[in-house]
Structure 1
Amino acid sequence: MNIGIFIYPDAEVLDFSGPFEVFSTASRLCETENPFSVFLIAEGGATVSARGGYKVLPGYSIEDHPPLDVLIISGGVHTAQMENTTVINWIKRQAESVKLMATVCTGIFLLANAIQTLSCKVTTHWEDIPELRTMFGRLDVLEGVRWVDEGSIVSSSGISAGIDMSLHLVSRLHSEKLAENTARQMEFAWTQNT
């Protein structure tokens, strides 16, 4: 199963590194199979400067990545991406073909901008909830939850909550046992809430 994580300049480091670690660890723990192929995708193939100047070389660009089963959109300083029609149109196309779209933190802004008909329960970083409600009144924005699963759309609150959400996705896409083993391997106290 191909898990693509979209990053961009000033993306929050743990928003993409946390989910990457969850899926790569889950795959490593499977002795008889490799259930997940996880990789980073950016608009271009060049190095991306994430928050704090953290330099990341994505595995693929939006033009050359393998077909995706799951797309995770990281959060961060997302405002420039909201105006980037190339990225927004790419997200829209992915939403039409992937099995599942997931967002971490402010990544939900990009998804809601790409899918103008999106109307479901979501969450984001507590600091961004008022803006999300103002910009996208059709969304039912929940507070005080780590993640929300609405079937084909899964969103998490801020930063470290993306790890909780990704463990939930492992349990959903593979097994609860693998998710529990992954959390244990990562020495992470998995918060399981909806």
Structure 2
Amino acid sequence: MYQVAILLFHDVEVLDFAGPFEVFAVTEVDGKRPFNVFTVAEHSPVFARNGLSVNPTYRLQDHPDADIILIPGGASLLADGTPLGTRREMHNEVILNWVRRHMRTAELVLSVCTGAFVLAKAGVLDGLTVTTHYSVAHQLQELLPAATVAPEQRWTDNGQVITSAGISAGIDMALHVVSRLLGPEVAAATMREMQYAPGPHSAAGLQ
């Protein structure tokens, strides 16, 4: 069974984490669930975008060993310029050290939307082809001169590291992971269970 740890933090984008959570949680193979999905956070509760209160399953220091870690996005600024979401967490050494530590042992490291900024600051994206929300792609490129930022791509697979574009693209990335690990038939069955119908740009990665 794959252990999947999804990071949560204040002002996280809801669909960024809930979409992939649903994909992994409903996937079945021969009546069994191949993914154990749980959320982790530095603090509890977490207040996501638009005020949703979420109770993470574990804290950063006490969760099971993870085969897959996922960093969602959620970035904004207050009127006075105070950073929120990933704009804040990309400078949080507790979060960055958690990423670096699990980067050494996890089979896959995933990001959704501006979660790529956290991975960038953790130093794991240099030399890779990555994506993020189109509106901040230029900022990610400035942060990562040694990487190629491709905002036109729904997701990018670099082997251990997989990044996705904005918000709903995390669902497509998670389905790609299911396909890669368990086969396209399992990914297709998961889409049917979710009644999810991706567009041509999304489905192409699941063939």
Partner of 1:87: 95
| TM superposition shift of 1:34 | 2.3
Change (3 A) 1:173 1:13: same
Whether the 8 Å CA contact 2:120–2:143 is kept in 1: the answer is: no
Consecutive unaligned residues of structure 2, counting only runs of 5 or more, are 76-85
Name the CA distance, whole Å, in 2 between partners of 1:117 and 1:157: 15
Unaligned runs of 5+ in 1: none
Corresponding residue for residue 11 of structure 2: 10
- TM-score, normalized by length of structure 1? 0.94
Quick check: 1:57 aligned with 2:63? no
Mapped to 1, the partners of 2:156 and 2:125 lie a distance apart of: 18
Alignment: residue pair count: 191
CA gap of 1:17–1:123, structure 2 versus 1, over 3 A, is same
Aligned to 1:160: 168
**SS of match in other structure, 1:192:** helix
2: CA distance, partners of 1:18 / 1:131: 25
Partner of 1:43: 42
- 1:82 deviates by 1.4
Q: Report the RMSD for the aligned CA atoms in angstroms.
A: 1.3
Contact 2:126–2:144 under 8 Å retained in 1: no
- The 1:134/1:193 distance shift into structure 2, 3 A limit, reads farther
Identity across matched positions, percent: 40
Please state how far the C-alpha of 1:14 moved relative to its aligned partner.
0.1
Cα contact 1:12–1:76 (8 A) shared by 2: yes
Q: Distance in 2 between matches of 1:114 and 1:86?
A: 11
Q: What letter matches 2:164 in structure 1? A: S
Match of 2:159 among 126, 131, 151: 151
Over 3 Å counting, the alpha-carbon distance change for 1:119 and 1:8 in structure 2 is: same
Match of 1:106 among 114, 122, 139: 114
Aligned to 2:73: 75
Q: Give the drift of 1:149.
A: 0.6
Query: Which sits farther off after the overlay, 47-56 or 112-121?
Result: 112-121
Partners of 1:193 and 1:148 in 2: CA distance:
13
Measured in 2, the distance between the counterparts of 1:15 and 1:34 equals: 22
Q: In the TM superposition, what is the alpha-carbon distance from 1:145 to its structure 2 partner?
A: 1.4
Given the alignment of the two structures, is residue 192 of structure 1 paired with residue 203 of structure 2, yes or no?
A: yes
Contact preservation (8 Å) 1:145, 1:193: no
SS at 2:203's partner residue? coil
Deviation at 1:56, TM superposition (A): 0.6
